[in-house]
Amino acid sequence: MIQLKRLNGKEFMINAIYIETVEAFPDTTITLTNGKKYIVKDSMSDVRGKITDFYRAIHVLNMTHLKEETDEE
């Protein structure tokens, strides 16, 4: 989950796995895979950073542990 701010300043969390697109219209708009849209105060680059951190935390972007296993075989 990543923490974001709505335009009114209220914080909420969203599951980054379900994010399909992040666009700036100029407000940052997040579209989920189910079509639901959220407009947030966070910049597009901030959202990208939070998504990247999330995927690293669940070890999707850092797969070095898999590479080490294949090197040993």
The residues near 16 (Cβ < 8 Å, ≥ 6 apart) are 1, 2, 50, 51, 54, 55
Mean pLDDT of 15-28: 95
Residue 63 has pLDDT above 80, yes or no: no
pLDDT band at 59 (very low <50, low <70, confident <90, very high): confident
Q: Which pLDDT does position 25 carry in this prediction? A: 87
Average pLDDT of the chain to the nearest whole number = 89
> Could you tell me whether strands 11-14 and 2-5 are parallel, antiparallel, or unpaired per DSSP bridges?
antiparallel
Mean pLDDT of 28-42: 97
